[in-house]
Structure 1
Amino acid sequence: MSWDPGGLNKNTRSKFYVILRFLRIEQTFFSLPMAYLGAFVAIKGISPISTLILIFLALFFLRTAGMTNDNLADVEIDAKNPRTKNRPLVTGAIKISEAKAMITTSLILFFITSYFVNIWAFILSPIVAIIVMSYPYMKRYTAFANYHLASIQGLAVFSGAVAVLGLYYNSLVQILLKVPWFFVIGTILWAAGFDLYNHIPDAEFDKEMGLHSFAVVLGRWALTFAGLNQLFSVVLDLLGDLYYGLGPIAIFATILHGLIMAYAYYLASQKNDFGRAFYYNIYSSIVLGLGVDIDVVLGIPF
């Protein structure tokens, strides 16, 4: 399987493009719509523009640190995997020292941005950073690394909610009660499913390297397991639409989100096209996030 979201082609020359591929910048679109979903649903209204900008910056800086750390932790493994041998850190297009500098700078900027969001975002930021930065080491020990990665996507919804709720509530308990947990958990299950699209093609390699994932544990049943996770995620999202009093646009977006995931599953299961299946999940997250946000803004009753 030659597909790799973080790989370079042989004709790549631009350092800027190398950095974009290194960070897999398009995958920010996994998280950003979900972060804004958390922000809009939490207060059932439009979040301040300044807060939305800070959410984007915090997300960008933390994803930069996390993705760079992921590449750095796996550089020796990636060098041995035919699918990932063209990644920038493996080829030397980005130096180890540059990667370490990116991690340090991005984490500092993440903490600074969190401070300007609100006090609770700042207090919780080290916990969020630890969860993100520890992910690449989990697959050395447990198959639940798939859910660790998925929880990072769920944290986008959680963090978006905290970013706006902290403007209105002083109590952390009040904030936690207002977080749209149906969407947080639904996002975790959705992400666990699409993360397996990354791991299933590498199952034999991971087994040889002593790495853990549900693709290794479940073998030929791993794809079914991925599909079930995503099916339950749609159910939770629909329950969230109803529980939080969202309207027809949100429900339509949720159903379309599910249909796109179903098509991605078809691509993986029938066409063995895990690359396209993976990227269709970007489209599905944009559909869900924008649909829910538009629904909240327009306030059309169901």
Structure 2
Amino acid sequence: MQWDPGGATESRSKLYIYLRFLRIEQVFFSLPMAYMGAFLAIREIPPIQVLILMFFSLFFLRTAGMTNDNLADREIDAMNPRTKSRPLVTGKITVREAKLLITISLIGFFITAYLINLYALIFAPIVALIVMSYPYMKRYTAFANYHLASIQGLAVFSGAVASLGLYAKSFTQLVTGIPWLFVISTVFWAVGFDLYNHIPDADFDKKMGLHSFAVLLGDRALMFAGLNQLISVLLALFGDIQFNLGIIAYIATILHGLIMGYAYYSATRGNFGRAFYYNIYSSIVLGIGIIIDIIV
């Protein structure tokens, strides 16, 4: 299996290499989920300055997290035929550059969190700790897949905090206003697409003593991925009901599920690259659909 979303084999510009290194397209599947959380929490359009700050906050945190992930795994990636073309492995990006990028990005994340609201700043260290600790979890437990998935759920959570934190009069009001069904739904969705990354590497990971549900479950891992995504769709439908959303949200949720179904089918055919990217498309459809439903 040669597919790798973080590989950069082409002789291209430094900017292109950085974009591949950061898997920049993944920012854009997290962004609709974060905005979905922001719109759901207050049932209206958040202030434009908050939406702009959310974009930069998410960009900075994903940059720090992805860079740290590559840095922590660079020796493992060098031994894996699927990931040996990653820029930190080939030297197209140096360790010094990576550490500098992490530092700058974390500073940018905390500054934008401060500018959003006090609650966002309070939660920022917890969110950053969860994101930055992920690469080390697979050395100890298969639940690393859920750790990664929780980071995607935090996009919805953080979006809600960014908008609701402007109006909440207490911490309790803030926490109870979080669209938890959509947060949890996102976690189950993300477990599925993360396994599309891990299943092709299951034999290698087992040899290296790394943990994932792909290693733990073997041939049943793909079915487990599909089960998680089925739970995700059901939770999203319950969320539509809880928030009394309209027909656009229901259509988006059903399309979200159908696209994930096609992704699962692609994975059963061995096309894990297509499965991975169609899961990205499914999240965009869900996030944008719910946002449009709330606007109209």
Superposition TM-score tier, normalisation by shorter sequence: over 0.9
Structure 2: distance between partners of 1:12 and 1:144: 37
Q: Which residue does 1:278 correspond to in 2?
A: 276
Aligned positions of 1:123-272 closer than 5 A? 123-269=122-268, 271-272=269-270
Query: 1:207 is aligned with what amino acid?
Result: K
Q: After superposition, what is the alpha-carbon deviation per residue over 1:253-300, rounded to whole angstroms, capped at 9, x for unaligned?
A: 00000000000000001x2000000000111011000000000000xx
Query: 1:287 is aligned with what amino acid?
Result: V
Structure 1: distance between partners of 2:115 and 2:28: 23
Q: Which residue does 1:101 correspond to in 2?
A: 100
Is 1:49 the counterpart of 2:48? The answer is yes
Q: After superposition, what is the alpha-carbon deviation per residue over 1:155-197, rounded to whole angstroms, capped at 9, x for unaligned?
A: 0000000000110013111101000001000000000011000
Q: Which residue does 1:65 correspond to in 2?
A: 64
Q: Which residue does 2:293 correspond to in 1?
A: 295
Structure 1: distance between partners of 2:217 and 2:29: 26
Q: After superposition, what is the alpha-carbon deviation per residue over 1:13-39, rounded to whole angstroms, capped at 9, x for unaligned?
A: 200000000000001122101000000
Per the TM alignment, residue 201 of structure 1 is displaced from its structure 2 partner at its CA by 0.2
Structure 1: distance between partners of 2:245 and 2:89: 46
The number of equivalent residue pairs is 296
Structure 2: distance between partners of 1:13 and 1:272: 29
Per the TM alignment, residue 145 of structure 1 is displaced from its structure 2 partner at its CA by 0.2
Structure 1: distance between partners of 2:259 and 2:191: 16
Per the TM alignment, residue 65 of structure 1 is displaced from its structure 2 partner at its CA by 0.1
TM-score, normalised by the number of residues in structure 2: 0.99
Q: Which residue does 1:110 correspond to in 2?
A: 109
Structure 2: distance between partners of 1:217 and 1:80: 21
Structure 1: distance between partners of 2:12 and 2:194: 29
Q: Which residue does 1:74 correspond to in 2?
A: 73
Query: 1:278 is aligned with what amino acid?
Result: F
Is 1:8 the counterpart of 2:8? The answer is yes
Query: 1:176 is aligned with what amino acid?
Result: V
Structure 2's unaligned 5+ residue stretches are none
DSSP-derived class of the 1:253 partner:
helix
Structure 2: distance between partners of 1:126 and 1:189: 24
DSSP-derived class of the 2:168 partner:
coil
TM-score, normalised by the number of residues in structure 1: 0.97
Per the TM alignment, residue 12 of structure 1 is displaced from its structure 2 partner at its CA by 2.2
Query: 1:181 is aligned with what amino acid?
Result: W
DSSP-derived class of the 1:62 partner:
helix
Structure 1's unaligned 5+ residue stretches are none
DSSP-derived class of the 2:56 partner:
helix
| Identity across matched positions, percent | 72
Structure 2: distance between partners of 1:173 and 1:200: 40
